[in-house]
Amino acid sequence: MADTKKKASAKKKTAHLKKLVIVESPSKADTIKKYLGSGYEVKASVGHLIDLPRSRMGVNLETFEPDYIVMRDKSKVMKDLRDAAKNASEIILASDPDREGEAIAYHIRNHMNEKVLSKIKNRVVPIRRIKFEEITQPAVLEAINHPIEIDTRLVNAQQSRRVIDRLFGYQLSPLLWKKVKSKLSAGRVQSVALRIICEREDEIDKFVPVEYWEIKGHFKSKKHALIGELSKIGGKKAEIPNQETADRIEKETLAGKSSIGNIAVRQQSRKALPPFITSTLQQAANNILGYSSIRTMMIAQELYEGINLGSTRTGLITYMRTDSTRVSPIAMEAVRKYITDNFDKGFLPDTPNFYANKKSAQDAHEAIRASDVALHPDKIKSYLTPDQYKLYNLIWRRFVASQMTPSQTETYTIEIENGDKLFTASDSHTVFEGYQAVYQFSKTKKEKMLPRDLKKGDELTVTKIDKDQKFTEPPPRYTDASLVKTMEELGIGRPSTYAPTIFTLTKRYYIMKSGKSLTPTELGRVVNKLLVDNFPDLINVGFTAKMEDELDEVEEGGKEWKGVVRHFYEPFTHVLTKAYEQIDNLKGSFDEETEFVCEKCGKKMLKKLGRFGYFLACSGWPDCRNAKPLPLGRCPKCETGQVVKKKGGRGKYFYGCSTYPECDFATFLEPSKESCPNDGSVLFNKREKGETKLICLKEGCGYEKPAE
């Protein structure tokens, strides 16, 4: 009887308790609150709460056991969650559906069991794990009704990556501090990415342009005029190395007889692209919208976590960290119905389009797609920021297009024969739009249609020859898009690491962005050389890719995580010890005496390499701590001050006079290393119509010359 009363009393006490749902971000919490009733309380962990300590290694170097702590800046968040857990009937862990999210759930569960739930008497508070690919009401409610166990394989995969990255960074970075400069860093993936960028820059530096010429002929028949490009000489690809050859070909062509050769019509079918995965989304957003990888992922996170659409808040896209092109059957059915309802017959294939995944794809998540295909971007544009609209529009269109029929184009080619020379002219036009009715972001030039009534053998007259001198171009510098594509192809990093890697390299000033191009700084090249010279087997594409594969095997349950860590660490520590003994001390080796004198103490100023590039510092340091930007040349306005690099609004750099505010000269053009022969002021680089010129900005001078 007493037991029955006790149980009834306990039941009465828990009747008013709420279920506590813990997610990662506040905006995600706001969205989910709208879907769950008053019986739920939703709170955010704001990312990781428990991690390795920042002030020390935090890893046992013999057992590789991590020493996790509640992060100092998250102690208040953890206390708030503990307080909420004390008064909860159930704890539901709803962190993101990936390795990091699984680790967050794992650490919160262990902490709550130890610090809170073990001290609650007379009732049991269950802890459950849920996952959902999209933050919509049906998806969240479905997950709530079907909780799962925490996946220890995912947790171990995260732990192994975290521990290896900690061992790598916390043991290699001090070497850079000691030998090069304080506050530098090295990372397992970032160091290889830096090597790729530096090697491309080396290729550009060593590149020697090769001259070649292009020739076009203007031809006329009785009714028509057309232009053909010289494509073959003697049946082989036309190669014109110099003006002498070009002049000879011009003379021969004008003297020779011309006639129509073969006429060909070719139909071409182009299939739709698969829906986005993380890497292709970052590439498309960079190429089409000009967004950096980190900016793309931040906007995608907002779209995933939920946007207020009037009276409702909903997640607009599925989870944005994925390497799978898979689409759920429900979403597939919805998009096919949308195409049927909104497009004419012929735009929907008879069967769904399926796309192959790459070998390393985990297939744990769907492709990145619109959560509800009925939410056309233009329909909800007023609720989105410009950035959100542009990215959602890109994702929505790619998803819909991926389930449409191919586009059809027709190419019409006319060959013009002149002795042993063959000129070709062609045009191309779309016969059927197919998927391009939805996904077409490139600007297509309207080609002038060639005449369709010419026949083989028709005689032509040569009216003019155009000769154009060209030079081969060096390989292009990497952009966010091309670097992500290269990293993916080489197997370096995974979807969650591409954007942070580029961001870290920029933040450390190892690389700079000029437009879209990624250029290594002097500091980046020095750090890269030191690492590559002394750790060729670690700062290595093959090694890093193999390591990623082994870490994936941990996630799949094929390898034990500590074994993978040991396999990395034993050779690593041997090479590290050897490097400490052999690497020359590079500190101060970049210092260079200048003619500038310190205005505070009268000693010579040194040109020094800092974290953000070169600057001037007094040689009397530490007694005199005078430092200032490096002068880049005489100011073209006042002719007494020096042009220096300055930081403007929103982190943008510009160049201004060192005597400001006395002289207000300012420009975004980059100074060169050359001076104007007229007034001695520095010349600036100006790109115009595809060519770079050096120009003088002194009013009334007008001096300019081609840049070398």
Is there a contact between 389 and 381 (Cβ–Cβ < 8 Å)?
A: yes
Contact 31, 44 (CB under 8 A): no
Bridge pairing between strands 627-629 and 613-618:
antiparallel
User: What's the CA gap between 185 and 163, in Å, rounded?
Assistant: 16
Catalytic annotation present for 703: no
Instruction: Please tell me the distance from the alpha carbon of residue 143 to that of residue 40, in angstroms, as a whole number.
Output: 14
Give the integer Cα–Cα distance in Å for 44 and 30: 9
Instruction: Read off the tokens for 198.
Output: 């530096």
CA distance 203 to 208: 10
Nearest Cα to 102, choosing from 130, 140, 79? 130
Q: Residue 274, SS3?
A: coil
Residue 689 CA to residue 684 CA, distance in Å, equals 16
Degrees, nearest 5: CA angle 174-175-176: 90
Q: Write out the two tokens for 94.
A: 């709803």
Q: Is 358 in contact with 324 (CB distance < 8 Å)?
A: no
Residue 219's beta-bridge partner residues? Answer: 226, 462
Q: How far apart are the first and last CA of the chain?
A: 97
**What distance in Å separates the CA atoms of residue 703 and residue 708, rounded to the nearest whole number?**
16
Determine the Cα–Cα distance for residues 708 and 694; give it in Å rounded to an integer. Answer: 9
How do the residues of the chain divide into helix, strand and coil, expressed in percent and rounded to 5?
35, 25, 40
CA distance 528 to 520: 10
H or E stretch including 459?
strand 459-471
DSSP string, 443-496: PPP-PPPPPS---TT-EEEEEEEEEEEEEPPPPPPPBHHHHHHHHHHHT-S-TT
567's tokens: 């396999």
Q: Give SS3 for 219.
A: strand
Residue in 35, 304, 319, 439 annotated catalytic: 319
8 Å CB contact between 68 and 52: yes
Residues annotated catalytic, as ranges: 319
